[in-house]
Amino acid sequence: MSIEECVLKALEANYDIAIQRWAVSSAASRVLSERGAFEPDITGYAGRSETSSTNSTDGTDSGELKLNTRFVTGTKLSLYARYSAADEQSNGTGRVGIEFSQPLLRDFGIKATRAPLVLAQRNAEISRHEFALRMINTATEVEADYWQLVLARERLAVQQASLDSARELEALTLQRAVARMMSESDTIQAQAAVYEREANVVRAGENVRRIEDGIKEKLSLFADPAYWITAIIPTTKPVVLDTDVDFLAALHISLEHREDYYSELLRLRNLDLDLYTAKNQLLPKLDLTASGERQDEAADAGRTFDAASSSDQEVWSVFLRLELPLGNKEARARRDSAYAAKMQQLLRIQQLELRIIREVRRAIDALNTNRRLVAATEKAVEFEQKKLENEQIKLDLGTSSTDNVVRFIQSLNQARLSYVQAVIDYNLAQSRLAQVQGTTLNQYEMDVADEY
Protein backbone atom coordinates (compact mmCIF):
# COMPACT_ATOMS: atom_id res chain seq x y z
CA MET A 1 0.00 0.00 0.00
CA SER A 2 1.13 3.54 -0.67
CA ILE A 3 1.09 6.13 2.07
CA GLU A 4 -1.72 7.95 0.26
CA GLU A 5 -3.85 4.80 0.17
CA CYS A 6 -3.31 4.25 3.89
CA VAL A 7 -4.20 7.82 4.83
CA LEU A 8 -7.30 8.00 2.62
CA LYS A 9 -8.49 4.64 3.93
CA ALA A 10 -8.05 5.85 7.51
CA LEU A 11 -9.93 9.09 6.83
CA GLU A 12 -12.75 7.03 5.37
CA ALA A 13 -13.00 4.22 7.93
CA ASN A 14 -11.37 5.37 11.19
CA TYR A 15 -13.80 5.14 14.13
CA ASP A 16 -12.52 8.28 15.88
CA ILE A 17 -13.29 10.29 12.75
CA ALA A 18 -16.72 8.68 12.41
CA ILE A 19 -17.52 9.59 16.03
CA GLN A 20 -16.39 13.19 15.50
CA ARG A 21 -18.48 13.40 12.33
CA TRP A 22 -21.61 12.71 14.40
CA ALA A 23 -20.55 15.47 16.80
CA VAL A 24 -20.65 17.87 13.84
CA SER A 25 -24.14 16.64 12.98
CA SER A 26 -25.26 17.12 16.59
CA ALA A 27 -23.96 20.70 16.64
CA ALA A 28 -25.78 21.45 13.37
CA SER A 29 -28.99 20.14 14.92
CA ARG A 30 -28.62 22.60 17.80
CA VAL A 31 -28.42 25.45 15.29
CA LEU A 32 -31.65 24.25 13.73
CA SER A 33 -33.22 24.09 17.18
CA GLU A 34 -32.28 27.72 17.93
CA ARG A 35 -33.70 28.84 14.59
CA GLY A 36 -36.96 27.28 15.69
CA ALA A 37 -37.29 30.00 18.35
CA PHE A 38 -38.17 32.47 15.58
CA GLU A 39 -40.72 30.24 13.87
CA PRO A 40 -44.43 31.02 14.35
CA ASP A 41 -46.59 28.65 16.31
CA ILE A 42 -50.30 28.15 16.80
CA THR A 43 -51.91 27.51 20.15
CA GLY A 44 -55.53 26.96 21.05
CA TYR A 45 -57.93 25.57 23.55
CA ALA A 46 -61.62 24.75 23.84
CA GLY A 47 -63.49 23.84 26.96
CA ARG A 48 -66.39 24.40 29.34
CA SER A 49 -66.51 25.64 32.91
CA GLU A 50 -69.48 25.18 35.28
CA THR A 51 -70.48 26.87 38.50
CA SER A 52 -72.90 24.92 40.69
CA SER A 53 -75.17 26.23 43.45
CA THR A 54 -78.05 24.71 45.41
CA ASN A 55 -80.69 25.76 42.90
CA SER A 56 -78.86 25.82 39.58
CA THR A 57 -75.82 25.06 37.54
CA ASP A 58 -74.38 27.70 35.21
CA GLY A 59 -71.94 26.84 32.46
CA THR A 60 -69.73 28.73 30.03
CA ASP A 61 -68.25 27.42 26.80
CA SER A 62 -65.02 29.09 25.68
CA GLY A 63 -62.21 28.67 23.20
CA GLU A 64 -59.24 30.43 21.66
CA LEU A 65 -57.07 30.13 18.56
CA LYS A 66 -53.81 32.09 18.67
CA LEU A 67 -50.91 32.65 16.24
CA ASN A 68 -47.63 33.65 17.93
CA THR A 69 -44.39 34.78 16.36
CA ARG A 70 -41.10 36.29 17.51
CA PHE A 71 -38.74 38.54 15.57
CA VAL A 72 -34.97 38.99 15.80
CA THR A 73 -35.56 42.45 17.29
CA GLY A 74 -37.06 40.78 20.36
CA THR A 75 -40.57 41.76 19.32
CA LYS A 76 -43.35 39.31 20.16
CA LEU A 77 -46.57 39.44 18.17
CA SER A 78 -49.76 37.44 18.62
CA LEU A 79 -53.01 37.32 16.66
CA TYR A 80 -55.97 35.67 18.32
CA ALA A 81 -59.64 34.85 18.02
CA ARG A 82 -61.66 34.07 21.18
CA TYR A 83 -65.21 32.92 21.81
CA SER A 84 -67.23 32.53 24.98
CA ALA A 85 -70.91 31.82 25.58
CA ALA A 86 -72.94 31.30 28.76
CA ASP A 87 -75.90 28.93 28.95
CA GLU A 88 -78.42 31.71 29.54
CA GLN A 89 -77.25 33.75 26.51
CA SER A 90 -78.69 33.21 23.07
CA ASN A 91 -75.42 34.35 21.44
CA GLY A 92 -71.86 34.22 22.62
CA THR A 93 -69.16 36.87 22.43
CA GLY A 94 -66.51 36.79 19.73
CA ARG A 95 -63.22 38.67 19.93
CA VAL A 96 -60.33 39.10 17.50
CA GLY A 97 -57.24 41.02 18.39
CA ILE A 98 -53.53 41.60 18.29
CA GLU A 99 -50.98 41.66 21.09
CA PHE A 100 -47.55 43.27 20.83
CA SER A 101 -44.55 43.28 23.19
CA GLN A 102 -41.14 44.96 22.73
CA PRO A 103 -38.25 44.98 25.27
CA LEU A 104 -36.70 48.43 25.64
CA LEU A 105 -33.80 47.72 28.04
CA ARG A 106 -33.11 44.15 29.09
CA ASP A 107 -33.24 41.72 26.12
CA PHE A 108 -33.40 44.69 23.72
CA GLY A 109 -31.91 44.53 20.25
CA ILE A 110 -30.97 42.04 17.60
CA LYS A 111 -27.67 41.10 19.27
CA ALA A 112 -29.30 40.10 22.55
CA THR A 113 -32.17 38.28 20.86
CA ARG A 114 -30.00 36.33 18.42
CA ALA A 115 -27.31 35.46 21.01
CA PRO A 116 -28.42 31.81 21.52
CA LEU A 117 -28.56 31.27 17.75
CA VAL A 118 -25.17 32.91 17.15
CA LEU A 119 -23.62 30.83 19.93
CA ALA A 120 -25.05 27.66 18.40
CA GLN A 121 -23.73 28.63 14.95
CA ARG A 122 -20.24 29.29 16.30
CA ASN A 123 -20.29 26.07 18.31
CA ALA A 124 -21.19 24.25 15.10
CA GLU A 125 -18.22 25.91 13.38
CA ILE A 126 -15.97 24.94 16.31
CA SER A 127 -17.21 21.37 15.92
CA ARG A 128 -16.25 21.44 12.24
CA HIS A 129 -12.76 22.70 13.09
CA GLU A 130 -12.41 19.95 15.70
CA PHE A 131 -13.49 17.44 13.08
CA ALA A 132 -10.84 18.75 10.68
CA LEU A 133 -8.25 18.61 13.48
CA ARG A 134 -9.20 14.99 14.19
CA MET A 135 -8.69 14.17 10.51
CA ILE A 136 -5.30 15.91 10.48
CA ASN A 137 -4.13 14.14 13.63
CA THR A 138 -5.32 10.77 12.34
CA ALA A 139 -3.60 11.31 9.00
CA THR A 140 -0.38 12.31 10.79
CA GLU A 141 -0.56 9.23 13.03
CA VAL A 142 -1.02 6.98 9.99
CA GLU A 143 1.90 8.69 8.22
CA ALA A 144 4.09 8.17 11.29
CA ASP A 145 3.12 4.49 11.53
CA TYR A 146 3.70 4.05 7.81
CA TRP A 147 7.24 5.44 8.00
CA GLN A 148 7.91 3.39 11.12
CA LEU A 149 6.81 0.33 9.16
CA VAL A 150 9.21 1.27 6.35
CA LEU A 151 11.97 1.57 8.95
CA ALA A 152 11.00 -1.70 10.65
CA ARG A 153 11.00 -3.58 7.34
CA GLU A 154 14.36 -2.06 6.47
CA ARG A 155 15.69 -3.16 9.85
CA LEU A 156 14.36 -6.63 9.17
CA ALA A 157 16.05 -6.64 5.75
CA VAL A 158 19.36 -5.48 7.26
CA GLN A 159 19.16 -8.08 10.02
CA GLN A 160 18.38 -10.77 7.45
CA ALA A 161 21.31 -9.65 5.31
CA SER A 162 23.48 -9.68 8.40
CA LEU A 163 22.32 -13.22 9.16
CA ASP A 164 23.11 -14.31 5.60
CA SER A 165 26.59 -12.79 5.88
CA ALA A 166 27.13 -14.48 9.23
CA ARG A 167 26.12 -17.84 7.75
CA GLU A 168 28.49 -17.37 4.80
CA LEU A 169 31.25 -16.45 7.21
CA GLU A 170 30.42 -19.49 9.36
CA ALA A 171 30.65 -21.80 6.33
CA LEU A 172 33.97 -20.25 5.30
CA THR A 173 35.33 -20.54 8.81
CA LEU A 174 34.34 -24.21 9.07
CA GLN A 175 36.04 -24.94 5.75
CA ARG A 176 39.25 -23.26 6.87
CA ALA A 177 39.08 -24.90 10.28
CA VAL A 178 39.00 -28.31 8.59
CA ALA A 179 42.04 -27.26 6.60
CA ARG A 180 43.72 -26.13 9.84
CA MET A 181 43.77 -22.57 8.58
CA MET A 182 41.67 -21.21 11.46
CA SER A 183 41.45 -21.89 15.16
CA GLU A 184 38.55 -23.35 17.11
CA SER A 185 37.86 -19.96 18.71
CA ASP A 186 37.28 -18.48 15.22
CA THR A 187 34.73 -21.22 14.53
CA ILE A 188 32.94 -20.63 17.82
CA GLN A 189 32.88 -16.88 17.18
CA ALA A 190 31.35 -17.38 13.71
CA GLN A 191 28.70 -19.77 15.05
CA ALA A 192 27.79 -17.44 17.93
CA ALA A 193 27.38 -14.60 15.44
CA VAL A 194 24.86 -16.68 13.45
CA TYR A 195 22.66 -17.35 16.49
CA GLU A 196 22.84 -13.72 17.55
CA ARG A 197 21.72 -12.61 14.07
CA GLU A 198 18.88 -15.15 14.10
CA ALA A 199 17.59 -13.64 17.37
CA ASN A 200 17.79 -10.14 15.85
CA VAL A 201 15.77 -11.31 12.83
CA VAL A 202 13.06 -12.75 15.10
CA ARG A 203 12.82 -9.50 17.09
CA ALA A 204 12.74 -7.39 13.92
CA GLY A 205 9.96 -9.55 12.46
CA GLU A 206 7.84 -9.17 15.61
CA ASN A 207 8.31 -5.39 15.50
CA VAL A 208 7.09 -5.32 11.88
CA ARG A 209 3.92 -7.23 12.81
CA ARG A 210 3.26 -4.94 15.79
CA ILE A 211 3.44 -1.81 13.64
CA GLU A 212 1.28 -3.44 10.96
CA ASP A 213 -1.40 -4.18 13.57
CA GLY A 214 -1.39 -0.52 14.63
CA ILE A 215 -1.94 0.57 11.04
CA LYS A 216 -4.68 -2.01 10.52
CA GLU A 217 -6.47 -0.75 13.62
CA LYS A 218 -6.39 2.88 12.44
CA LEU A 219 -7.64 1.79 9.01
CA SER A 220 -10.30 -0.47 10.61
CA LEU A 221 -8.97 -3.39 8.56
CA PHE A 222 -9.59 -5.83 11.39
CA ALA A 223 -13.29 -5.64 10.49
CA ASP A 224 -12.40 -7.89 7.52
CA PRO A 225 -10.95 -11.30 8.54
CA ALA A 226 -9.01 -11.36 5.27
CA TYR A 227 -6.70 -8.68 6.69
CA TRP A 228 -6.04 -10.35 10.06
CA ILE A 229 -2.83 -12.01 8.92
CA THR A 230 -2.18 -10.10 5.68
CA ALA A 231 1.12 -8.23 5.60
CA ILE A 232 1.26 -4.55 4.68
CA ILE A 233 4.00 -3.88 2.14
CA PRO A 234 4.87 -0.16 1.87
CA THR A 235 5.31 1.02 -1.70
CA THR A 236 6.02 4.71 -1.07
CA LYS A 237 9.72 5.47 -0.84
CA PRO A 238 10.94 8.13 1.60
CA VAL A 239 12.45 11.20 -0.03
CA VAL A 240 14.77 13.91 1.22
CA LEU A 241 14.44 17.43 -0.19
CA ASP A 242 17.47 19.68 -0.31
CA THR A 243 15.54 22.83 0.56
CA ASP A 244 15.36 25.09 3.62
CA VAL A 245 12.08 26.15 5.24
CA ASP A 246 11.65 29.80 6.20
CA PHE A 247 10.50 30.10 9.81
CA LEU A 248 8.39 33.27 9.47
CA ALA A 249 6.63 31.95 6.37
CA ALA A 250 5.93 28.65 8.10
CA LEU A 251 4.62 30.44 11.20
CA HIS A 252 2.31 32.58 9.05
CA ILE A 253 0.88 29.44 7.45
CA SER A 254 0.33 27.90 10.90
CA LEU A 255 -1.59 30.88 12.24
CA GLU A 256 -3.65 30.92 9.05
CA HIS A 257 -4.52 27.22 8.89
CA ARG A 258 -4.35 25.75 12.42
CA GLU A 259 -7.78 24.34 13.24
CA ASP A 260 -7.26 24.50 17.01
CA TYR A 261 -6.24 28.18 16.75
CA TYR A 262 -9.43 29.05 14.87
CA SER A 263 -11.47 27.11 17.44
CA GLU A 264 -9.98 29.08 20.31
CA LEU A 265 -10.64 32.39 18.52
CA LEU A 266 -14.28 31.37 18.02
CA ARG A 267 -14.56 30.44 21.69
CA LEU A 268 -13.29 33.92 22.55
CA ARG A 269 -16.01 35.47 20.38
CA ASN A 270 -18.57 33.30 22.14
CA LEU A 271 -17.33 34.49 25.52
CA ASP A 272 -17.52 38.10 24.27
CA LEU A 273 -21.16 37.48 23.47
CA ASP A 274 -21.72 35.80 26.84
CA LEU A 275 -20.28 38.87 28.55
CA TYR A 276 -22.50 41.18 26.49
CA THR A 277 -25.55 39.11 27.41
CA ALA A 278 -24.59 39.08 31.09
CA LYS A 279 -24.22 42.86 31.09
CA ASN A 280 -27.55 43.19 29.32
CA GLN A 281 -29.23 41.17 32.07
CA LEU A 282 -28.09 43.78 34.63
CA LEU A 283 -30.47 46.31 33.06
CA PRO A 284 -33.98 46.84 34.39
CA LYS A 285 -36.67 45.05 32.46
CA LEU A 286 -38.75 47.64 30.66
CA ASP A 287 -41.20 46.35 28.06
CA LEU A 288 -43.60 48.23 25.83
CA THR A 289 -46.80 46.26 25.35
CA ALA A 290 -49.82 47.10 23.26
CA SER A 291 -52.99 45.32 22.27
CA GLY A 292 -56.03 45.96 20.14
CA GLU A 293 -59.29 44.03 20.05
CA ARG A 294 -62.67 44.00 18.33
CA GLN A 295 -65.65 42.18 19.78
CA ASP A 296 -69.29 41.49 18.99
CA GLU A 297 -71.97 38.89 19.43
CA ALA A 298 -71.37 35.60 17.61
CA ALA A 299 -74.01 32.94 17.08
CA ASP A 300 -71.38 30.21 17.55
CA ALA A 301 -67.61 29.75 17.70
CA GLY A 302 -67.36 29.32 13.93
CA ARG A 303 -68.65 32.87 13.35
CA THR A 304 -66.30 34.51 15.87
CA PHE A 305 -63.96 36.03 13.30
CA ASP A 306 -66.69 37.32 10.96
CA ALA A 307 -68.67 38.84 13.79
CA ALA A 308 -65.76 40.49 15.58
CA SER A 309 -63.95 41.75 12.49
CA SER A 310 -67.04 43.62 11.27
CA SER A 311 -67.76 45.13 14.67
CA ASP A 312 -67.17 48.76 15.54
CA GLN A 313 -66.47 47.95 19.19
CA GLU A 314 -62.73 48.40 19.60
CA VAL A 315 -60.52 48.27 22.68
CA TRP A 316 -56.93 49.52 22.49
CA SER A 317 -54.31 49.65 25.20
CA VAL A 318 -50.66 50.69 25.46
CA PHE A 319 -48.56 50.52 28.60
CA LEU A 320 -45.04 50.11 29.95
CA ARG A 321 -44.07 47.33 32.31
CA LEU A 322 -41.06 47.83 34.57
CA GLU A 323 -39.20 45.26 36.65
CA LEU A 324 -36.42 46.63 38.82
CA PRO A 325 -34.49 43.95 40.75
CA LEU A 326 -33.19 44.92 44.18
CA GLY A 327 -29.59 43.90 44.71
CA ASN A 328 -29.39 41.90 41.48
CA LYS A 329 -26.52 39.81 42.90
CA GLU A 330 -27.18 36.86 40.61
CA ALA A 331 -26.89 38.95 37.43
CA ARG A 332 -23.72 40.67 38.69
CA ALA A 333 -22.20 37.30 39.53
CA ARG A 334 -22.94 36.05 35.99
CA ARG A 335 -21.30 39.16 34.54
CA ASP A 336 -18.18 38.73 36.68
CA SER A 337 -18.04 35.04 35.79
CA ALA A 338 -18.36 35.83 32.07
CA TYR A 339 -15.59 38.42 32.31
CA ALA A 340 -13.29 35.98 34.11
CA ALA A 341 -13.99 33.31 31.48
CA LYS A 342 -13.13 35.78 28.71
CA MET A 343 -9.82 36.73 30.36
CA GLN A 344 -8.98 33.04 30.79
CA GLN A 345 -9.63 32.44 27.10
CA LEU A 346 -7.40 35.37 26.13
CA LEU A 347 -4.59 33.80 28.12
CA ARG A 348 -5.25 30.41 26.51
CA ILE A 349 -4.94 31.98 23.06
CA GLN A 350 -1.68 33.70 24.01
CA GLN A 351 -0.43 30.41 25.41
CA LEU A 352 -1.42 28.60 22.22
CA GLU A 353 0.34 31.21 20.07
CA LEU A 354 3.56 30.65 22.02
CA ARG A 355 3.15 26.89 21.67
CA ILE A 356 2.63 27.24 17.92
CA ILE A 357 5.83 29.28 17.66
CA ARG A 358 7.72 26.60 19.58
CA GLU A 359 6.19 23.75 17.58
CA VAL A 360 7.03 25.39 14.25
CA ARG A 361 10.61 26.10 15.37
CA ARG A 362 11.08 22.53 16.60
CA ALA A 363 9.58 21.02 13.43
CA ILE A 364 11.84 23.11 11.17
CA ASP A 365 14.88 22.37 13.34
CA ALA A 366 14.13 18.63 13.21
CA LEU A 367 13.73 18.84 9.44
CA ASN A 368 17.05 20.62 8.95
CA THR A 369 18.88 18.43 11.47
CA ASN A 370 17.71 15.20 9.89
CA ARG A 371 18.57 16.42 6.40
CA ARG A 372 22.16 16.96 7.58
CA LEU A 373 22.11 13.58 9.33
CA VAL A 374 21.04 11.91 6.09
CA ALA A 375 24.09 13.32 4.31
CA ALA A 376 26.42 12.36 7.16
CA THR A 377 25.11 8.82 7.64
CA GLU A 378 25.19 8.22 3.89
CA LYS A 379 28.92 8.95 3.90
CA ALA A 380 29.35 6.75 6.96
CA VAL A 381 27.81 3.81 5.09
CA GLU A 382 30.24 4.30 2.22
CA PHE A 383 33.28 4.25 4.52
CA GLU A 384 32.03 1.30 6.59
CA GLN A 385 31.51 -0.64 3.37
CA LYS A 386 35.08 0.09 2.29
CA LYS A 387 36.43 -0.89 5.72
CA LEU A 388 34.59 -4.23 5.57
CA GLU A 389 35.86 -4.96 2.07
CA ASN A 390 39.41 -4.26 3.16
CA GLU A 391 39.05 -6.48 6.23
CA GLN A 392 37.64 -9.33 4.14
CA ILE A 393 40.70 -9.08 1.86
CA LYS A 394 42.90 -9.33 4.96
CA LEU A 395 40.93 -12.38 6.10
CA ASP A 396 41.49 -14.04 2.73
CA LEU A 397 45.21 -13.32 3.09
CA GLY A 398 45.23 -14.72 6.60
CA THR A 399 46.18 -11.41 8.27
CA SER A 400 42.84 -10.88 10.00
CA SER A 401 40.42 -12.90 12.09
CA THR A 402 36.76 -13.84 11.94
CA ASP A 403 36.15 -11.72 15.02
CA ASN A 404 37.38 -8.62 13.21
CA VAL A 405 35.21 -9.29 10.16
CA VAL A 406 32.16 -9.85 12.36
CA ARG A 407 32.77 -6.51 14.08
CA PHE A 408 33.08 -4.74 10.72
CA ILE A 409 29.84 -6.35 9.52
CA GLN A 410 28.15 -5.09 12.66
CA SER A 411 29.52 -1.60 12.09
CA LEU A 412 28.29 -1.60 8.48
CA ASN A 413 24.82 -2.79 9.50
CA GLN A 414 24.62 -0.15 12.20
CA ALA A 415 25.67 2.53 9.71
CA ARG A 416 22.99 1.36 7.28
CA LEU A 417 20.34 1.46 10.00
CA SER A 418 21.49 4.92 11.07
CA TYR A 419 21.12 6.12 7.49
CA VAL A 420 17.63 4.64 7.13
CA GLN A 421 16.68 6.08 10.53
CA ALA A 422 17.82 9.54 9.43
CA VAL A 423 15.81 9.31 6.18
CA ILE A 424 12.70 8.16 8.05
CA ASP A 425 13.16 10.83 10.72
CA TYR A 426 13.35 13.43 7.97
CA ASN A 427 10.05 12.25 6.52
CA LEU A 428 8.51 12.15 10.00
CA ALA A 429 9.70 15.73 10.48
CA GLN A 430 7.97 16.68 7.24
CA SER A 431 4.74 15.14 8.50
CA ARG A 432 5.11 16.94 11.81
CA LEU A 433 5.70 20.30 10.12
CA ALA A 434 2.58 19.82 7.99
CA GLN A 435 0.64 18.94 11.15
CA VAL A 436 1.74 22.03 13.09
CA GLN A 437 0.94 24.16 10.04
CA GLY A 438 -2.50 22.54 9.62
CA THR A 439 -1.79 21.60 6.00
CA THR A 440 -1.60 17.81 6.28
CA LEU A 441 -4.71 17.16 4.20
CA ASN A 442 -3.67 19.48 1.36
CA GLN A 443 -1.29 16.94 -0.14
CA TYR A 444 -4.17 14.45 -0.35
CA GLU A 445 -6.50 17.04 -1.94
CA MET A 446 -9.03 16.52 0.85
CA ASP A 447 -11.87 19.01 1.23
CA VAL A 448 -12.98 18.67 4.85
CA ALA A 449 -16.32 20.35 4.11
CA ASP A 450 -17.24 17.36 1.93
CA GLU A 451 -16.77 15.02 4.91
CA TYR A 452 -19.42 16.54 7.22
Res 256: pLDDT: 92
H/E stretch holding 406 reads helix 402-437
Q: Which residues contact 238 (CB under 8 A, 6 or more apart)?
A: 147, 150, 423, 424, 426, 427
- What's residue 308's pLDDT? 62
Residue 264 pLDDT: 95
C-beta separation of 266 from 122 below 8 A? yes
Nearest to 176 by CA among 387, 396, 358: 396
The answer for 412, left when phi > 0, alpha when psi is -120 to 50, beta otherwise, is: alpha
- Residue 188: the pLDDT is 79
| 243 class by beta-carbon count within 10 Å (0-12 exposed, 13-18 middle, 19+ buried) | exposed
Q: In this predicted structure, what is the pLDDT of residue 183?
A: 63
Given this model, what pLDDT does residue 254 score? 93
For 96, phi and psi rounded to 5 degrees?
-130, 140
Kindly report whether the global pTM for this prediction surpasses the value 0.85.
Answer: no
Each residue's pLDDT tens digit, 244-287: 889 999 999 999 999 999 999 999 999 999 999 999 999 999 99
pLDDT of residue 194: 84
Q: Are 298 and 304 in contact (CB under 8 A)?
A: yes
Q: Which domains does the chain carry?
A: 3-39+109-283+328-451 (1.20.1600.10), 43-70+75-107+285-324 (no CATH)
pLDDT along the chain (452 residues), means of 10: 90 89 91 90 89 74 89 91 74 84 92 93 94 93 93 88 80 69 69 86 92 90 83 89 88 93 96 95 93 75 63 84 87 94 96 95 93 92 88 79 76 87 93 93 75 57
For residue 238, give the nearest of 148, 162, 158 by alpha carbon.
Answer: 148
Cα-Cα end-to-end distance for the chain? 27
